[in-house]
């Protein structure tokens, strides 16, 4: 990523100084440690923000025009805040427009802006580059227009931007952690109440290693929506079957699943089983982390992977190979796919003394098996969005 002063220079060369309020902001990507496909089931997740991020420089204008320049695509797009329409040519613009649209729908008045942004979060890798772009835009607009939008409200409006404007039916996890992440901590988010608990990743001996499978496929959105529908079907069944209130799979216990799940059968049972057991794994994982019991934490990560692979069926050959290879290495306590699945990354818990050989060995073996060069990122938990 370029230095701030270089970015400021590029900004000044491109846009004339309006003399109005300006600033530089960032929002990070994320990796989810455990709690996958639980957020849209009102469940629990445990992500952390990573050091890779989007940086956004902006200055207010005295009209309602937006001039947005993507440094990475080397492309400038101009539009009016009074006329926000989907841009099928420049997909990235829709994240900005969606956020602006949602903020305006909340009845805030916002001024036009000149914007430049750049980032180092790999796209389509399941590390939430889109959520980071949304949150960076919301944070920039909020600060420069002095709107004072509360952090959770901001995460929610970014999620609505993605759901409604961009048209991706995601849950709240990615925007939430990009806005509220805290250095040295993972966040356990309760996706029903939208409250969170900080969970320190305090053990100096272990590192979080992300392996990028470098697989790109388009399947994700349609399969994601299918899983959401299957969960809805399971909710309907349990709502009719159990004699208490069931609004989401969050409300079904493992015992109830074991007792009644048989009647549900087939695919729907397996989808429900993943979500219900995964929620439980998050809670156990959080208390393991609090007790500095990383062995248990690692085991739960691996169990999560098996459940995502077998019951939820959102893994793929490459992610399975990466997990399998990871688990064969020295100093590894656990490994799993992370994010929506079908492509993207795995996350592994690796002893710091073994990190270099881990990366070297997995890279080599992955290449031998798939012919693909993977990338690895070692990261500690970073802060959520802020001013640079």
**Could you give the residue numbers annotated as active site?**
174
Taking CB under 6 A as the rule, does residue 170 contact ligand GLA?
A: yes
Cβ atoms 201, 381 nearer than 8 A = yes
* Stretch of 33-41, 61-69, 82-90, 369-377 lying at the interface with ligand GLA (CB under 6 A): 33-41
Taking CB under 6 A as the rule, does residue 196 contact ligand GLA?
A: no
Binder to ligand GLA among 37, 182, 274, 305 (CB under 6 A)? Answer: 37
> Residue 39 CB, nearest distance to ligand GLA (Å)?
5
Taking CB under 6 A as the rule, does residue 340 contact ligand GLA?
A: yes
* Stretch of 35-43, 82-90, 95-103, 204-212 lying at the interface with ligand GLA (CB under 6 A): 35-43
Cβ atoms 353, 206 nearer than 8 A = no
Q: Distance from CA of residue 267 to its chain's centroid?
A: 26
How far the first Cα of the chain sits from its last, in Å, is 13
Binder to ligand GLA among 7, 22, 26, 36 (CB under 6 A)? Answer: 36
Taking CB under 6 A as the rule, does residue 28 contact ligand GLA?
A: no
DSSP 40-93: GGT-EEEEEEEEEEEEEEEEE-SSSEEEEEETTTTEEEEEETT-----SS-HHH
> Residue 235 CB, nearest distance to ligand GLA (Å)?
16
Taking CB under 6 A as the rule, does residue 136 contact ligand GLA?
A: no
Taking CB under 6 A as the rule, does residue 40 contact ligand GLA?
A: yes
Closest CB to ligand GLA among residues 339, 384: 339
Per DSSP, 166 falls in state: I
Residue among 79, 66, 80, 61 at smallest CA distance from 16: 61
Taking CB under 6 A as the rule, does residue 339 contact ligand GLA?
A: yes
Closest CB to ligand GLA among residues 154, 170: 170
Closest CB to ligand GLA among residues 112, 119: 119
Closest CB to ligand GLA among residues 174, 251: 174
Q: Per DSSP, what are the bridge partners of residue 1?
A: none
Separation of alpha carbons 30 and 180, rounded Å: 11
Per DSSP, 328 falls in state: T
> Residue 57 CB, nearest distance to ligand GLA (Å)?
26
Measuring CA to CA, how many Å separate 231 from each of 79, 215, 275? 39, 26, 8
Question: Which residues from 171-190 bind ligand GLA, rule CB under 6 A?
Answer: 171, 173-174
Q: Residue by residue, what is the 3-state secondary structure of 100-139?
A: HHHHHHCCCCCCCEEEEEEECCCCCCCCCHHHHHHHHHHH
Separation of alpha carbons 336 and 322, rounded Å: 9
Q: Residue by residue, what is the 3-state secondary structure of 347-385?
A: EEEEEHHHHHHHHHHHHHHHHHHHCCCCEEEEECCECCC
* Stretch of 20-28, 37-45, 50-58, 178-186 lying at the interface with ligand GLA (CB under 6 A): 37-45
Taking CB under 6 A as the rule, does residue 288 contact ligand GLA?
A: no
Binder to ligand GLA among 27, 33, 39, 132 (CB under 6 A)? Answer: 39
* Stretch of 136-144, 166-174, 347-355, 358-366 lying at the interface with ligand GLA (CB under 6 A): 166-174
Cβ atoms 30, 178 nearer than 8 A = yes
Residues near ligand GLA (CB under 6 A) are 36-37, 39-40, 170-171, 173-174, 339-340
């Amino acid at each position: 990523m370029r230095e701030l002063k270089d970015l400021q220079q590029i900004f000044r060369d491109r846009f004339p100084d309006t003399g109005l309020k300006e600033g530089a902001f960032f929002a990070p990507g994320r990796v989810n440690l455990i709690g996958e496909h639980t957020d849209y089931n009102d469940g629990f997740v445990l992500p952390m923000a990573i050091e890779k991020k989007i940086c956004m420089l902006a200055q207010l204008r005295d009209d309602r025009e937006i001039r947005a320049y993507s440094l990475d695509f080397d492309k400038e797009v101009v539009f009016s805040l009074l006329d926000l329409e989907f841009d099928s040519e420049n997909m990235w613009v829709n994240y900005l427009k969606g956020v602006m649209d949602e903020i305006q729908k909340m009845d805030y008045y916002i001024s036009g802006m000149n914007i430049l942004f750049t980032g180092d979060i790999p796209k389509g890798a399941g590390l939430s580059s889109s959520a980071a772009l949304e949150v960076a835009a919301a944070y920039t607009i909020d600060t420069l227009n002095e709107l004072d939008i509360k952090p959770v409200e901001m995460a929610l409006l970014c999620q609505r931007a993605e759901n409604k404007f961009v048209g991706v039916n995601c849950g709240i996890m990615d925007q939430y952690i990009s806005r509220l992440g805290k250095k040295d901590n993972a966040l356990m988010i309760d996706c029903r109440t939208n409250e969170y608990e900080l969970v320190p990743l305090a053990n100096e001996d272990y590192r979080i290693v992300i392996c990028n499978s470098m697989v790109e496929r388009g399947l994700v959105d349609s399969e994601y929506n299918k899983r959401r529908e299957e969960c809805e079907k399971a909710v309907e069944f349990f709502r009719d079957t159990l004699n208490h209130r069931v609004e989401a799979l969050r409300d079904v216990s493992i015992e109830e699943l074991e007792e009644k799940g048989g009647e549900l059968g087939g695919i729907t049972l397996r989808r429900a089983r993943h979500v219900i057991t995964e929620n439980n794994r998050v809670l156990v994982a959080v208390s393991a982390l609090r007790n500095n019991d990383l062995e248990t934490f690692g085991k739960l990560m691996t169990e999560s992977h098996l459940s995502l692979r077998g019951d939820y069926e959102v893994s793929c050959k490459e992610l399975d190979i990466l997990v399998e290879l990871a688990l064969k290495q020295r100093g590894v306590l656990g490994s799993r796919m992370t994010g929506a699945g079908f492509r993207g990354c795995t996350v592994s818990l690796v002893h710091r003394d073994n990190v270099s050989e881990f990366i070297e060995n997995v890279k080599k073996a992955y290449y031998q098996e798939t012919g693909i060069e993977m990338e690895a990122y070692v990261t500690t938990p970073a802060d959520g969005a802020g001013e640079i």
